[in-house]
Amino acid sequence: MLKNKKTIISLLLIPQYALVKWLAHYPVFVETYYSNGLYPFISKIFRYVLGWLPFSFGDLIYAFAIIYAARWVYKNRKQLRKNTKQWFVNVFAALSIIYFAFHLLWGLNYYRLPLHKNLNLNRDYTTDQLVFVTKKLIEKSNAYHLKITNNDTIKVDIPFSKSEIFKHTQNGYDNLKQIFPHLEYHPKSVKKSLFSYPLTYMGFSGYLNPLTNEAQVDALIPVFKFPTTTAHEIAHQLGYAAENEANFIGFLATINNDDVYFKYTGYTFGLRFCLNEIYRRDEALYETIVADVNIGILKNYEEVRLFWEAHQNPAEPIFKLFYGNFLKANSQTKGMESYSYVVALLVNYFGNTSL
């Protein structure tokens, strides 16, 4: 009887996959009935239940799952040869359950209506538009940099602990919900990852656990990156699965924070994306524009660059390739490059709006 149940569960993976791919063609339906219907209740339940824990419950589940899977493969290694069919039935039954849980608890957000459509924004933009917004970001970044340091050559040191940054991030979302009520964030459930060392060497600064709805931030990244990374992961938690959309919302939440240090990290976060896009389009134009950026800001960028360079390793490209393919499988056709598409949202949102 148990074997029959496992066979049925494993076969259910096929209609599940077909259903998800079918729903991908109906983003308005997903937006209305899942992302703005069922999902907010699921998310809040998990945040109420697990948010108070000082550690990541989801990371413990991951650790247990890895150990259990390795143990199961070792114990059943002979079954692969002696009873190949049942071995695969067992494996696909487990995958079927995980696939179902992933999409029910969070993953269907990949197929919601794109944010630029919700905001009635164009997706395309010209280099002139890009330069216009970039100069506005430079003006804001320089102003907040000087307000903090009184010296354009000194890098900014964030005076908060990483735990304090988690608490202060709430303020940005509280202010942002006055503009976008659906971005209300309560209760909170954001934590330092128990796997920060491997996460760093994999080249990632944070992630959302889709099974427990806990936002995880790499505890080792520079403090300068902590406010925007935290805000980014909370955006995922609120149902914005696409990386470019989470970056944009994280940017908005950070610049809308009352704290001057948060505003600084937010504006320089958006500026870095725009500068990178200008460099990709026209290196000579980039050299002209970046000359207007305070040296202290460039030192903050260098601090982050040196951190990641210090942790580069041969395995990192493999992990990023895997994650890039995961994104492509979930309607982000550019894979890891989708992170840079935040520029389209920035340029089209702020082209006629004050920063």
Digit-coded pLDDT (tens) for 140-199 = 999 999 999 999 999 999 999 999 999 999 999 999 999 999 999 999 999 999 999 999
Do 126 and 194 fall within a single domain? yes
Nearest to 247 by CA among 265, 228, 227, 274: 228
Q: Residue 325: what pLDDT?
A: 57
pLDDT bin (cut points 50, 70, 90) of residue 329 is low
Q: Work out the average pLDDT over 298-318.
A: 84
Residue 326 clears pLDDT 80, i.e. is over it? no
In a domain, 355, yes or no: no
In a domain, 312, yes or no: yes
Look up the domain containing 295 and give its range: 116-350
Q: Beta 214-217 vs 190-192: how paired, if at all?
A: parallel
User: Which residues are CB-contacts of 269 (< 8 A; sequence separation ≥ 6)?
Assistant: 228, 247, 250, 251, 254
CA–CA separation, 199 and 319 (whole Å):
10
In a domain, 244, yes or no: yes
Residue 355 clears pLDDT 80, i.e. is over it? no
Do 104 and 151 fall within a single domain? no
In a domain, 265, yes or no: yes
In a domain, 82, yes or no: yes
Do 179 and 301 fall within a single domain? yes
Q: What total number of domains does the chain contain?
A: 2
Do 100 and 190 fall within a single domain? no
Q: Residue 274: what pLDDT?
A: 96
Last residue of a domain, one of 111, 143, 177: 111
pLDDT bin (cut points 50, 70, 90) of residue 341 is confident
What residue spans of 238-281 are helical by DSSP H?
243-255, 260-281
Do 194 and 330 fall within a single domain? yes
Last residue of a domain, one of 60, 87, 111: 111
In a domain, 16, yes or no: yes
Residue 3 clears pLDDT 70, i.e. is over it? no
Residue 60 clears pLDDT 80, i.e. is over it? yes
Do 70 and 170 fall within a single domain? no
Handedness of CA 239, 331, 211, 54 (dihedral sign): negative
Do 247 and 335 fall within a single domain? yes
- 197 CB neighbour count, 10 Å cutoff: 13
State the average pLDDT for the chain.
91
Do 53 and 124 fall within a single domain? no
In a domain, 247, yes or no: yes
Residue 321 clears pLDDT 70, i.e. is over it? no
Do 64 and 151 fall within a single domain? no
Residue 75 clears pLDDT 90, i.e. is over it? no
Last residue of a domain, one of 111, 127, 153: 111
Using one digit for the tens of pLDDT, what is the confidence trace for 215-273?
Answer: 999 999 999 999 999 999 999 999 999 999 999 999 999 999 999 999 999 999 999 99
Do 101 and 130 fall within a single domain? no
Q: Work out the average pLDDT over 78-92.
A: 84
CA–CA separation, 34 and 40 (whole Å):
8
Do 185 and 284 fall within a single domain? yes
Q: Determine the residue type at 291.
A: A
Query: Edge-to-edge strands of the sheet including 190-192?
Result: 190-192, 214-217, 206-209
pLDDT bin (cut points 50, 70, 90) of residue 318 is low
Q: Beta 206-209 vs 214-217: how paired, if at all?
A: antiparallel
User: For tokens 């260098």, what's the residue?
Assistant: 302
pLDDT bin (cut points 50, 70, 90) of residue 1 is low
In a domain, 253, yes or no: yes
Do 289 and 186 fall within a single domain? yes
